[in-house]
Structure 1
Amino acid sequence: MLIVTGATGQLGSRIVERLLERVPADQVGVSVRDPSRATSLADRGVRVRAADFTEPATLAHALEGASRVLVLSAAIRGAGAVAANLAALDAARDAGAERVLYTSHQAASPVSAFLPQHTHAATEEHLAGLGVPFTALRNGFYASTLGLHLDEALRTGRMALPEDGPVSWTAHADLAEAAAIALASGGGLDGVTAPLTAPHLLDLADVAAVVADLVGRPVTRVVVADEEWAASAVARGMPPAAAEFTLGMFRAARAGEFAVTDPALESVLGRPAVPVREVLQGLLPQHA
């Protein structure tokens, strides 16, 4: 059985849909915290079982009978994320999985300026030591993250954010399809993959220009000092810890951590990657 954890999230739900295009539903299982959110999958014949990475005892039942397991990185921050990921990886091995896959990141590193990359690096290290074949999918930076900045950009005509750098913005849809291919057939992906990215690098000035072209009115990129942006974000209601976390992304971007592209994703997909413009076009109606 092919099992996907976190199967009701933005990436996980897409992965399951692409997987069901490749294998029968009775060969697919999902591990979710809330089974009521996966009733449509159960109705289609997918095995749905409850589990929580932070409660390792629940994982054995959820992953029972697994031949391959795709562990989506825990959607929590800090040291707890590493512990949760490692518990899921261990449970996949203990369930007898012949391959364990994990959704990592193109910039995984213990010295990254962006804290999630520390989590990915520690998880990759543990994954490599499981003693079973593994795949660490080094996903490109989600292009949908740009949606966080569209409301203000459309309202004010300004994309006023800290200094950034080029990013290989990559569509969820492409990463989901690549993960489904890797889970269903191996897809030639073994060990730590090359960066699974779209082929073009764009900084926020480039993004602002694309948005302006799509909406037919000016959108100007304005660089704001880190401290000024953080103070403004906190004043608007963002918790200080979240503001500092977000600044880490900008610091990593301007250090060039995300300025990497590779043909690996398009090679796995057998087609061109979805361009940023198309992702933004899909996001704009939500922010009109």
Structure 2
Amino acid sequence: MIIITGAAGALNGATLDHLLERMPANELVATMRDTAKAQPFIDRGVEVRRADYADPASLPAAFEGADQLLLVSSSDPTADGVALHRAAVDAAVAAGVGRILYTSHQAAAPDNPFFPGRDHFATEQMLAATGVPWTSLRNGFYAHSLAWLAGPWRETGIIAVPGDGPVSWTAREDAAEAAAIILASDGAYDGPTTITATAAPTFAELAEVASEVSGQTIRYELMDEQDWVDAQAAAGRPAHMATFLLGFYQAAHGGYFAGTDPLLHELLGREPRTARDALA
């Protein structure tokens, strides 16, 4: 049995869709915090259970019987992600899960300026210490994030960022499909497993791509970090979100998102979606 956490979300929900193309619904379980969202899964014959990392008591029964368990990482920048992941991992071990898979990130590192990367690294260390077989899906930075990380370039004609470097912009849809393929492989992938697009363009290069796809001249501008933070505040963005996003640009400048890997192409049997696709 394969149990998918966060099944009501975009990433693991898409993974579940792909798994339903590969195996019977009665071999799958969807878990979510709010079971009011369960009906679409029930209609397809998938068992639904409630699981909330912030409510550890909900987890052991939710994970019971899992040959493989796909843990989605916390996406709340204000939460203690490591503590939430600890609750899920402890419950998985207690439930006797056969393999734990975790949606990590290619930039999982203890010194990453973008703090989710530090959380991912800590969670991977946690998984390695359990003694349970595990797979960390180190996904590339999701390409749909360009909608806000590249700024309102269609309106302004400028991609203005406080830091630049290569980023292997990876389609969330492709990462979800790859996760389903890896789950269906029944343990063929072990430990850290990098899943990225095949190229890692900089924002300066994306300005050229944006010009091509939009038919207008899009300039690239590297801003002073404080000027960028001040501009975010003037636009009404909360200070904690500006600080959170600034860490991304600092990590990009530091090369944390630069790596690419052919595995995603091999798994999909086609060229993965590109940053050009996301901009278009």
> Once the two structures are superposed, what CA deviation does each residue of 1:1-37 show, in whole Å capped at 9, x if it has no partner?
2111111112111111111111111111111011122
**1:152 aligned residue:** 152
Judged with a 3 Å threshold, the aligned counterparts in structure 2 of structure 1 residues 92 and 273 are, in CA distance, closer, same or farther, namely same
Q: Distance in 2 between matches of 1:78 and 1:4?
A: 24
Q: Distance in 2 between matches of 1:107 and 1:151?
A: 22
TM-score using structure 2 length: 0.95
Give, in angstroms, the shift of residue 272 of structure 1. Answer: 1.9
Give, in angstroms, the shift of residue 186 of structure 1. Answer: 3.2
Q: Distance in 2 between matches of 1:21 and 1:209?
A: 38
- Is 2:146–2:278's contact at 8 Å kept on the other side of the alignment? no
Give, in angstroms, the shift of residue 185 of structure 1. Answer: 1.8
Q: Distance in 1 between matches of 2:177 and 2:275?
A: 17
**2:246 aligned residue:** 247
- Please give the secondary structure, in 2, of the residue aligned with 1:129: helix
**1:10 aligned residue:** 10
Q: How does 1:113-192 map to 2 (within 5 A)?
A: 113-149=113-149, 152-186=152-186, 188-192=188-192
Q: CA RMSD in A?
A: 1.5
**2:108 aligned residue:** 108
- Please give the secondary structure, in 2, of the residue aligned with 1:148: helix
Give, in angstroms, the shift of residue 279 of structure 1. Answer: 2.6
Judged with a 3 Å threshold, the aligned counterparts in structure 2 of structure 1 residues 149 and 117 are, in CA distance, closer, same or farther, namely closer
**2:214 aligned residue:** 215
More displaced stretch, 177-186 vs 119-128? 177-186
- Is 1:2–1:184's contact at 8 Å kept on the other side of the alignment? no
Tell me, yes or no, if structure 1 residue 235 matches structure 2 residue 234: yes
> Once the two structures are superposed, what CA deviation does each residue of 1:34-85 show, in whole Å capped at 9, x if it has no partner?
1122311111111111121011000112212211100010122366110111
Q: Distance in 2 between matches of 1:149 and 1:103?
A: 21
Judged with a 3 Å threshold, the aligned counterparts in structure 2 of structure 1 residues 150 and 259 are, in CA distance, closer, same or farther, namely closer
Give, in angstroms, the shift of residue 252 of structure 1. Answer: 0.5
**1:264 aligned residue:** 263
- Is 1:149–1:159's contact at 8 Å kept on the other side of the alignment? no
- Is 1:109–1:120's contact at 8 Å kept on the other side of the alignment? yes
Give, in angstroms, the shift of residue 148 of structure 1. Answer: 1.1
Give, in angstroms, the shift of residue 278 of structure 1. Answer: 1.9
- Please give the secondary structure, in 2, of the residue aligned with 1:189: coil
> Once the two structures are superposed, what CA deviation does each residue of 1:158-214 show, in whole Å capped at 9, x if it has no partner?
112212101111111111011111112236311112x21111111112222222211
Q: Distance in 2 between matches of 1:148 and 1:228?
A: 17
Judged with a 3 Å threshold, the aligned counterparts in structure 2 of structure 1 residues 113 and 70 are, in CA distance, closer, same or farther, namely same
Q: Which amino acid aligns with 1:80?
A: D
Judged with a 3 Å threshold, the aligned counterparts in structure 2 of structure 1 residues 246 and 142 are, in CA distance, closer, same or farther, namely same
TM-score using structure 1 length: 0.93
Give, in angstroms, the shift of residue 115 of structure 1. Answer: 0.5
More displaced stretch, 99-108 vs 269-278? 269-278
Q: Distance in 1 between matches of 2:245 and 2:275?
A: 21
- Please give the secondary structure, in 2, of the residue aligned with 1:192: strand
- Is 1:181–1:187's contact at 8 Å kept on the other side of the alignment? no
> Once the two structures are superposed, what CA deviation does each residue of 1:125-155 show, in whole Å capped at 9, x if it has no partner?
0111111111011111111110114662111
- Is 2:31–2:50's contact at 8 Å kept on the other side of the alignment? yes
**1:22 aligned residue:** 22
**1:285 aligned residue:** none
Q: Structure 1 stretches of 5 or more lacking a match?
A: 282-288
Q: How many residues align?
A: 280
- Is 2:5–2:12's contact at 8 Å kept on the other side of the alignment? yes
Q: Distance in 2 between matches of 1:199 and 1:187?
A: 24
- Is 2:64–2:97's contact at 8 Å kept on the other side of the alignment? no
